[in-house]
Amino acid sequence: MLNVSIAPDGTEYKLPTEEENEIEFTRVKEITAQQRALGRKIVGVQGLGFVGCVMAAVVADATDEKGNPYYYVHGHQRASKRSYWKVPVINTGKAPVSSSDPEVPEIFHRCIMDRKNLRATAEDRVYELVDIVVVDIQLDATKPAFGEAEKGFCDLLAFREGIRTLGKYIRPDCMILVETTVPPGTCEKVVKPIIEEEFIKRGIDIVQHPPLIAHSYERVMPGSKYVASIRDFWRVYSGVNQKSKDLCREFLSKVLDVKNYPLTELENTNASELAKVMENSYRAANIALTLEWARFAEKIGVDFFKVREAVRKRKGTHDNLLRPSLGVGGYCLTKDPVLANWAMKTLFEIDDALDIAINAVNINDTMPLHTIDLIKEMIPVLRNVKVAVLGVSYLENLGDTRHSPSKTLVEFLHKDFAMVKVHDPYVEYWAELEEVKVYNDNGDVLPEADVVIFAVGHDEYRQITPEFIVEKAGKKPLIVDCSNFLDDAVIREYLHLGCNVRGVGKGHISQL
Amino acid sequence: MLNVSIAPDGTEYKLPTEEENEIEFTRVKEITAQQRALGRKIVGVQGLGFVGCVMAAVVADATDEKGNPYYYVHGHQRASKRSYWKVPVINTGKAPVSSSDPEVPEIFHRCIMDRKNLRATAEDRVYELVDIVVVDIQLDATKPAFGEAEKGFCDLLAFREGIRTLGKYIRPDCMILVETTVPPGTCEKVVKPIIEEEFIKRGIDIVQHPPLIAHSYERVMPGSKYVASIRDFWRVYSGVNQKSKDLCREFLSKVLDVKNYPLTELENTNASELAKVMENSYRAANIALTLEWARFAEKIGVDFFKVREAVRKRKGTHDNLLRPSLGVGGYCLTKDPVLANWAMKTLFEIDDALDIAINAVNINDTMPLHTIDLIKEMIPVLRNVKVAVLGVSYLENLGDTRHSPSKTLVEFLHKDFAMVKVHDPYVEYWAELEEVKVYNDNGDVLPEADVVIFAVGHDEYRQITPEFIVEKAGKKPLIVDCSNFLDDAVIREYLHLGCNVRGVGKGHISQL
């Protein structure tokens, strides 16, 4: 459909016309003037995605000791078919994301309906009016070949366009705070030159008015602490010059809980950009390491997860040890090492590589194939084998399918001509694998299943007893535990019922 | 010299004759009988190396609530030229190791001279008399080619001989507790078959008397908490059968501080053996990862160490992040991944590899070459360049040169025909690089130095001021900081004096 943006609930929103844009801009100017009269600074948040929409609410929610908001927030979302719907949805007082965090609907309702200092708009010229812009444009890495992250790259086109929009409209004293996870070097080598170029076009003297650009990355986690993970957590920041750093610190100090989570200033934006992708690379490498030890454990009668718990008792030195599972999903660990490796080669033209980090991404991306290997140890030929996959989200107890390893699992099961049915209580529709229907009732996937894969450890699955599985399947399916979900007592029940059981890292099953 | 063992202080001890051995055995039997009459169990500790000697003292030092020792301990050391001296030294009440931990001389003196329940012997037949043997035979990995840890192997010859000695002498109900870090599978596939073989030779029914073999690894750290790191720390254990596990738990519960550091039981010895080498592989991989990020940081004006501190503020998830330095030394991180990889292929005949862990060892082993690269950025040709290396120990404030990365540094500087002088306040004699004299006075290494490398961050080196270095050198040497030892203020002083400064991970120096 032309010029229509469809919300997840199916509601259609017409994209604004030029005439409507003019009306909107007049309205935005009026509101801004009113809010300035209340002594509030004006903040724009660019990009109302997973981080941006909640960050906009967190900024709007910040008040002085008397409860007066520091800021009025214009949440800005381009009028694209994919995302425009967020603007009208937010402006009715609703969050444009569903979450298990009860604070999400509360904070949106409070800021939009009660305090009235948060509003969404698709009008670019809003940036003429703001004192601060928080950039939350999404930025992804492209991995053109499966398991070859070394060929990955970062397509900065949309990001650069977004920054150019800012350069066209912002006042020279407006502070740009880049919150997006970017390849190291982006603020210095991408954002600053674009802003300078646009300033020069506008006749702004960039010696007298050097662009004010800061970087501070979020550490958001989906789930029940979604808002707190943005507001009440440690932050690292820097800026391209001293004034940018100062303005950034002042802004973050008002918006975040810096009393309990003090800020860390780094010397330049390269450093803060590097810190973000490095901390995720550390996690990615940590997980990748565990897979090879889990495979070893499987072959020598050892439960890798009990070993892991023993090792993690060394607090302070070994308690960050992660674990293998079906694989690694989500938005950060799968791409951040690629952003860094690409930046090294492309933005800085350094003849080196982040081999461990990139190798970790490859191991993690291909980790679901290990689960298929476990199945093939019992059922060598998967053609026409009926497989029930329980869980397509990338995390437990969430409906988030971004870069979910279940996608790789299902695709490779299809390649082997298995007959796959997938279930997830939290997912209505699998955006990344549209052709696969996701059932919400396990009664739709279990009947006749030869293999049942506990792909994701949703708590809801704990209520499924071995008796229920065997009864529903009408046979004794092979049970595969990808995420250390079945404890030894439950595995014993499956064994007593005559099922075979396999699990990632679970080498001890034959001894049970 | 024939049949003489020379202690580190130069004292010569004649190895015992057969006649002396008979006298010793009579004495050992008498002592044992007296100690049994006091209600004490008899423990043998096999191998009085870095772990064994202190473990022997810790076992002897354990008492019931009334202060009565639970055990009498025979520390056993083979009568080899390399190590026999430890027997007479211990029996005069002295520790056979020097340490900065004041508890070391105290615990030896207390157990040997006051309580008189610890004594060393070279007599093998002592194992006839014991209820428990703690095996602390050293076991190393051999890496036949530099930077190719995948070719590494474990020579079990001496270890197997030691175990065979036990099989020849121990009572069938004696519990063997292997404390040595061993390749996974060793207790099941090496220790047990040897003991069974020897039992059968002695006519012992191994069905009625299956060997009692347990494994529990230490987590010793050299330095000021040496004794506590053995006694007051978390332990993991398992056994080849239930009785072995029970006896092991009972023994460790008496000897260690299990109130504050509860024991963790794993299902089999493969698991506890795997846990040890995995926890060190985790550390090794963690360090290796940081080197590539440090190299990146160096090239983009970033201080890696400040980034690291920012990342580590995420307690519980990121605070284990380690750091690069000159390289990785010591006895554990350099060999444990090799033991595991070798065991996988050889003891279990699994066609797989611990690639990340092995790659980490290679990166860490070759890490000192990065320091040489840093020097060559400033001084491309090192022939006849005078280099002062400050620090040859593998850890700060210790005189421990085992697998020290300074060895690789010095060897490769020699390959480039640099003129190297090395200094360390804690090292008299460099056992692994005998041809290199270690100076204890920096006045012997600094004059005319073109390059001064802070290889190890000994606290003593903090007293060396930039003025002192320049004055002693008589020129403005290149300063190289391998271990984030020089803070920004000190680096600025060097720069003001006209020295160039480079550092591992320190990309920010040009901005100071």
Contacts of B340 in chain A (CB under 8 A): 296
- Closest partner residue to B320 (CB to CB) among A266, A313, A319 is A319
d(CA A196, CA A172): 10
Quote the pLDDT of residue A33: 98
As a whole number, mean pLDDT of residues A476-500 equals: 98
The shortest C-alpha distance from B436 to chain A (Å) reads 34
Query: Across the interface, do B356 and A356 touch by the CB < 8 Å criterion?
Result: yes
DSSP β-ladder status, A438-439 and A451-454? unpaired
How much is the average pLDDT of A84-104? 95
Among A188, A273, A286, A491, the strongest candidate for a mutation testing the B interface, having the largest count of B CBs within 10 A, is A286
Instruction: Map B151-176 to HEC letters.
Output: HCEECCHHHHHHHHHHHHHCCCCCEE
pLDDT confidence tier of residue A1, bands split at 50, 70 and 90: low
Cβ pair A296:B340 closer than 8 A: yes
Q: Tell me the per-residue pLDDT of A199-219, one tens digit each, with 9 for 90 and over.
A: 999 999 999 999 999 999 999
Q: With the C-alpha atoms ordered A260, A264, A265, A270, is the resulting torsion angle positive or negative?
A: negative
Cβ distance A289 to B281 less than 8 Å, yes or no, reads yes
| pLDDT of the residue at A504 | 98
- The share of chain A scoring above pLDDT 90, in percent, equals 97
**A343 sits in which H/E element:** helix A336-346
Q: The tokens of A285 are what?
A: 């490498």
Q: Which residue in this structure is represented by tokens 């099961």?
A: A413
Tell me what pLDDT residue B248 has: 98
Chain B interface disruption, residue of A263, A278, A491, most B CBs within 10 A: A278
Task: Indicate whether A8 pLDDT > 90.
Answer: no
Report the amino acid identity of residue A73. Answer: V
Rounded Cα distance between B17 and B255, Å, is 35
When the pLDDT of each residue in chain A is averaged and rounded to a whole number, the result is: 96
Please, what are the domains in chain B?
Answer: 4-270 (3.40.50.720), 298-327+367-511 (3.40.50.720)
Are A356 and B285 within 8 A, CB to CB?
Answer: yes
pLDDT classification of B445: cutoffs 50, 70, 90: very high
Instruction: Supply the pTM of this predicted model.
Output: 0.95
Distance from CA of B334 to the nearest CA of A (A): 17
Residue B140 pLDDT greater than 70, yes or no: yes
pLDDT tens-digit profile of A455-474?
999 999 999 999 999 999 99
Inter-axis angle of helices B269-299 and B355-366, to 10 degrees?
Answer: 50
Nearest to A279 among B236, B278, B311 (CB): B311
Q: What is the rounded (10 degree) CA torsion for A139, A141, A144, A148?
A: -170
Contact at 8 Å (CB) between B470 and B476? yes
Q: How many CA atoms lie within 13 A of A372 on its CB side?
A: 24
Query: For B448-466, what is the mean pLDDT?
Result: 97
Asked if A299's CB is within 8 angstroms of B350's CB, the reply is yes
Percent of chain A surpassing pLDDT 70: 100
A56-69 burial code (b ≥16 CB/10 A, e <16): bbbbbbbeeeeeeb
Using an 8 Å CB-CB cutoff, list chain B residues near A352: 292, 295-296, 299
Smallest Cβ–Cβ distance between A266 and the set B264, B306, B355 belongs to B306
Give Cα separations from B10 to B5, B93, B444 (angstroms).
9, 18, 24
Is the pLDDT at B1 greater than 80? The verdict is no
Provide the mean pLDDT of chain B.
Answer: 96
pLDDT score for B8:
87
* Of residues B285, B295, B354, nearest to A285 (C-beta): B285
Burial category of B102 from C-beta neighbours within 10 Å (exposed 0-12, middle 13-18, buried 19 and up): exposed
A75 close to A48: Cβ distance less than 8 angstroms: yes
- Token pair 């809801």 is found at A460
Say if residue A2's pLDDT is above 90.
no
Q: What is the ipTM of this complex?
A: 0.95
Residues A266, B310: C-beta atoms closer than 8 Å: yes
Of A274, A321, A354, the CB nearest to B282: A321
Alpha carbon distance A38, A33 (integer Å): 9
- Integer Cα distance of A21 and A124 in angstroms: 9
How many CA atoms are closer than 13 Å to the CA of A127, on its beta-carbon side?
Answer: 26
Residue in B492, B486, B477 with CA at minimum distance from that of residue B388: B477
Among candidates B270, B281, B360 on the partner chain, residue whose Cβ is nearest the Cβ of A302? B270
Instruction: Provide the number of CB pairs (under 8 Å) joining chain A to chain B.
Output: 189
B128-144 mean pLDDT: 96
On the question of pLDDT at B222 being above 90, the answer is no
**Cβ burial B60-84 (10 Å sphere, 16+ → b, else e):** bbbeeeeeebbbbbbbbbbbeeebb
Interchain contact, A300 vs B236, CB within 8 Å: no
First to last CA, chain B: 58
* Smallest CA–CA distance from B505 into chain A, residue: A271
Please say if the pLDDT value at position A222 is more than 90.
Answer: no
Give me the residue from A282, A296, A302 closest to B289, CB to CB.
A282
Give, rounded to a whole angstrom, the gap between the first and last alpha carbons of chain A: 58
Residues of chain B with C-beta less than 8 angstroms from the C-beta of A367: none
- Give residue-wise pLDDT tens across range B494-505: 999 999 999 999
Q: Quick check: A80 pLDDT over 70?
A: yes
- Mean pLDDT in residue range A389-413: 96
Best mutation target among B190, B219, B267 (most A Cβ atoms within 10 Å) is: B267
- Interval A212-236 mean pLDDT: 95
Q: How far off is chain A from B354, nearest CA to CA, in Å?
A: 6
**pLDDT above 80 for A363:** yes
State the DSSP H helix or E strand holding residue A56, giving kind and residue range, or none if neither: helix A52-61
Q: Do A278 and B292 touch (CB under 8 A)?
A: no
- Cα A313 from Cα B262, distance rounded (Å): 10
How distant is the Cα of B103 from the closest Cα of chain A, in angstroms?
A: 23
Q: Give the mean model confidence (pLDDT) for residues A399-422.
A: 97
Q: Report the DSSP beta bridge partners of residue A420.
A: A387
Spell out the residues 6+ positions from residue A292 whose beta carbon is closer than 8 angstroms to its own.
Answer: A363, B352, B353, B354, B355, B356, B357
Q: Could you tell me which of A79, A161, A69, A139 has the C-alpha nearest to residue A111? A: A69
pLDDT digits (tens, 9 = 90+) for B431-441: 999 999 999 99
Instruction: Find all residues with CB under 8 Å of B497, minimum gap 6, and list them.
Output: B466, B467, B470, B476
How high is the pLDDT of residue B293?
97
Q: How far is CA B303 from CA A186, A275, B277, B487, in A?
A: 18, 11, 32, 11
For residue A311, give the nearest of B279, B321, B344 by CB distance: B279
> Residue B16's pLDDT is what?
96
Question: In this complex, do A274 and B359 lie within 8 Å of one another by their Cβ atoms?
Answer: no
Give the model confidence (pLDDT) of B90-112 as tens digits.
999 999 998 999 999 999 999 99
